């Protein structure tokens, strides 16, 4: 007799076991010669060695499906568990537009045209700039891409960072220690993660460093290998800070830089590093620039009207023109 233990990772055991353990009981019925004992996120499998090994290989395919698509039913379980054992019976793929299956059945996907461009660019290139006003989903989409890459084991960790720049408030007057003072600046990143990962799994990832949320200053001197790194609010990074972040890129890494060039909170006469980066990197073909606008707003319908009213057209046009010049030169050369 052989006895092995399977740990359920990256998905909630409830999603695997089903309501009132309906999926678990069905799996047991498919393998009557094995004894399955479930305790939280561990399943003990007892039986003949060959049968136990075969069961584990098949059950891992069930876990992969749950992790990627967020749900599973008895018909799919049967299709996977009673297939040829090589994954060839994997069920029909879910909606390919879905980036992540989040909590409570939430399906996170790119909605607008520019959000979809961001997804395609990130799939093809290792460094992408997503530039646009508040509410256009640039940060949320970027975080979803990072979580998808982690779930698909394309990277080993996620690094989310922001400059700790005061937007009209004084950091020193906030209560608590350094972490308490900095967390409010990073809250939008935590909010996105909570939508996309089970609470306990997110806490585990944060504790073991699989996911790191930290101020930009904490990135200095590091090399980010096998990581998906996102720099949010990049318009508030100085020239030296943005250069520092971009040069952290290690092997098998993907970077997304998001920013809103109409909301710069840097001190007076302190230039934003985002403009310089656009200017200096516009001719690097391995880097892409995606500009989002009020048409990409996914918040309340009034937000797009507010953005339009506050739009600083000279600033936005300046950034777009820098990138458009590159496209025009390319087309001229092709002719």
User: CA-CA distance, 80 to 68, in Å (whole number)?
Assistant: 14
pLDDT at position 329: 61
Phi, psi of 102 (to 5 degrees): -90, -160
pLDDT at position 167: 45
pLDDT at position 169: 45
Q: In terms of pLDDT, which residue wins out, 96 or 11?
A: 11
Mean local confidence (pLDDT), 262-276: 86
pLDDT more than 70, % of the chain: 78
Do residues 91 and 65 lie in contact, with contact meaning Cβ atoms separated by under 8 Å?
Answer: yes
Residue 263: is its pLDDT beyond 80?
A: yes
pLDDT at position 277: 92
Of the listed ranges 83-97, 184-198, 209-223, the one predicted with least confidence: 83-97
Residue 189: is its pLDDT beyond 70?
A: yes
What three-state secondary structure class fits 94? coil
Name the pairing type of β-strands 42-47 and 35-39.
antiparallel
* E strand or H helix that includes residue 38: strand 35-39
User: CA-CA distance, 27 to 6, in Å (whole number)?
Assistant: 14
User: CA-CA distance, 250 to 241, in Å (whole number)?
Assistant: 17
Using 50, 70 and 90 to split pLDDT, how confident is the model at 159? very high
pLDDT at position 70: 63
For the stretch 61-84, pLDDT in tens is 888 777 766 667 787 888 888 765
pLDDT at position 269: 80
CA distances from 84 to 31, 52, 55, 78, 88 (A): 15, 16, 12, 12, 7
Residue 304: is its pLDDT beyond 50?
A: yes
Residue 315: is its pLDDT beyond 50?
A: yes
DSSP class per residue in 213-256: EEEGGGGTT--B-SEEEEE-SGGGS-HHHHHHHHTTB-TT-EEE
Predicted TM-score (pTM) of this structure: 0.67
Do residues 108 and 284 lie in contact, with contact meaning Cβ atoms separated by under 8 Å?
Answer: no
Q: In terms of pLDDT, which residue wins out, 70 or 215?
A: 215
Q: Where are the beta strands (DSSP E) in the chain?
A: 2-7, 35-39, 42-47, 98-101, 107-109, 127-131, 157-162, 211-215, 227-231, 254-259, 287-291
Residue 208: is its pLDDT beyond 50?
A: yes
pLDDT at position 252: 92
For the stretch 46-67, pLDDT in tens is 999 889 888 888 888 888 777 7
Residue 232: is its pLDDT beyond 70?
A: yes
Using 50, 70 and 90 to split pLDDT, how confident is the model at 212? very high
Burial class (CB in 10 A: 0-12, 13-18, 19+), 248: buried
Token pair for 172: 């020193």
Of the listed ranges 33-47, 96-110, 140-154, the one predicted with least confidence: 96-110
What are the sequence ranges of the domains in the chain? 2-81, 98-334
* E strand or H helix that includes residue 257: strand 254-259
User: CA-CA distance, 223 to 226, in Å (whole number)?
Assistant: 10
Task: For residue 307, give the nearest of 319, 321, 297, 320 by alpha carbon.
Answer: 297
pLDDT at position 92: 37
pLDDT at position 172: 53
Mean local confidence (pLDDT), 127-156: 91
Cα dihedral across residues 28, 29, 30, 31: positive or negative: positive
Name the pairing type of β-strands 107-109 and 98-101.
antiparallel
Mean local confidence (pLDDT), 269-292: 90
Using 50, 70 and 90 to split pLDDT, how confident is the model at 178? low
Q: Is 322 left (phi over 0), alpha (psi -120 to 50) or beta?
A: alpha
Q: Please tell us whether the domain made up of 2-81 is placed in CATH 3.30.1370.10.
A: yes
CATH of 98-334, one of 3.40.1710.10, 3.40.50.300, 3.40.50.280, 3.30.460.10: 3.40.50.300
Task: For residue 97, give the nearest of 145, 63, 139 by alpha carbon.
Answer: 145
Mean local confidence (pLDDT), 289-299: 83
pLDDT at position 180: 63
Computed over every residue of the chain, the mean pLDDT equals 82
DSSP class per residue in 273-299: HHHHHHHHHTT-TTEEEEE--GGG--S
Any idea how long the chain is? 335
Of the listed ranges 195-204, 248-257, 297-306, the one predicted with least confidence: 297-306
Q: What is the DSSP secondary structure assignment for residue 176, as one 8-state letter?
A: S
Residue 112: is its pLDDT beyond 80?
A: yes
Task: For residue 286, give the nearest of 81, 136, 125, 143 by alpha carbon.
Answer: 125
pLDDT at position 168: 43
């Amino acid at each position: 007799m052989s006895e092995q233990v399977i740990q359920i990772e990256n998905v909630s055991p409830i999603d695997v076991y089903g309501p009132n353990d309906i999926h678990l009981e069905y799996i047991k019925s498919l393998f009557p010669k094995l004894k399955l004992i479930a305790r939280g996120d561990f399943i003990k499998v007892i039986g003949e060695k060959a049968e136990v090994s075969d069961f584990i290989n098949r059950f891992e395919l069930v876990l992969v499906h749950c992790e990627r698509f967020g749900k599973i039913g008895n018909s799919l379980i049967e299709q996977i568990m009673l297939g040829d054992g090589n994954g060839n019976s994997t069920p029909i793929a879910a909606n390919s537009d879905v980036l992540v299956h989040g909590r409570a059945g939430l399906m996170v996907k790119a909605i607008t045209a520019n959000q979809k461009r961001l997804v395609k660019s990130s799939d093809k290139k290792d460094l992408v700039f997503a530039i646009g006003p508040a509410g256009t989903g640039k940060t949320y989409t970027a975080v979803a891409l990072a979580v998808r890459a982690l779930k698909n084991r394309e990277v080993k960790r996620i690094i989310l960072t922001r400059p700790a720049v005061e937007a009209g408030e004084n950091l020193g007057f906030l209560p608590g220690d350094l972490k308490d003072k900095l967390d409010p600046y990073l809250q939008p990143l935590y909010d996105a993660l909570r939508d996309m990962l089970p609470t306990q799994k997110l806490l585990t990832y944060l504790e073991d460093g699989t996911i790191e949320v930290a101020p930009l200053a904490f990135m200095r001197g590091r090399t980010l290998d096998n990581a998906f790194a996102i720099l949010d609010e990049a318009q508030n990074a100085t020239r030296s800070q943005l250069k520092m972040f971009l040069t952290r890129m290690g092997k098998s890494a993907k970077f997304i830089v998001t920013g809103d060039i109409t909301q710069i909170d840097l001190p007076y006469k302190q230039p934003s590093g985002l403009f310089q980066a656009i200017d200096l990197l516009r001719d690097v073909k391995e880097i892409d620039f995606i500009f989002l606008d009020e048409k990409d707003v996914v918040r309340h319908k009034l937000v797009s009207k507010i953005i339009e009213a506050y739009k600083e057209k000279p600033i936005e046009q300046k950034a777009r023109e820098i990138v458009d010049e590159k496209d025009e030169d390319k087309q001229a050369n092709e002719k």
